[in-house]
């Protein structure tokens, strides 16, 4: 299905948020996920179904300051 991930439109064969993370080889521990501006709790990544044209934001930890 077509999804917008961090502002870019992508076509992926997935059904849940966890599928997207797996497809992109992203460790779920290292990212906060928003679907259509709603934060998804880590324990719900595998049960959150996606639909056509959903907007996903992957927010990675950015720790530096020094």
Give the residue among 60, 15, 1, 11 at the shortest CA–CA distance from 34: 60
- Residues 42, 40, 17: CA angle, nearest 5 degrees: 80
Q: Binding to other proteins (CB under 8 A): which residues in 17-56? A: 27, 29-30, 32, 34, 37, 39, 41-42
CA distance 20 to 51: 12
Residue 11 binding other proteins, by CB under 8 A: no
**Minimum gap (Å) between residue 13 Cβ and other proteins:** 25
Q: Which residues would be at the binding site for other proteins (CB under 8 A)?
A: 6-7, 27, 29-30, 32, 34, 37, 39, 41-42, 57, 59-66
């Amino acid at each position: 299905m077509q999804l917008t991930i961090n502002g870019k439109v992508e076509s992926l064969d997935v059904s849940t948020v966890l599928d997207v993370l797996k497809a992109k080889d992203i460790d779920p521990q290292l990212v906060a996920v928003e679907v259509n501006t709603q934060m998804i709790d880590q324990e719900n990544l595998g049960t959150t179904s996606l639909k056509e044209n959903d907007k996903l934001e992957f927010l990675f930890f950015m720790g530096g300051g020094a």
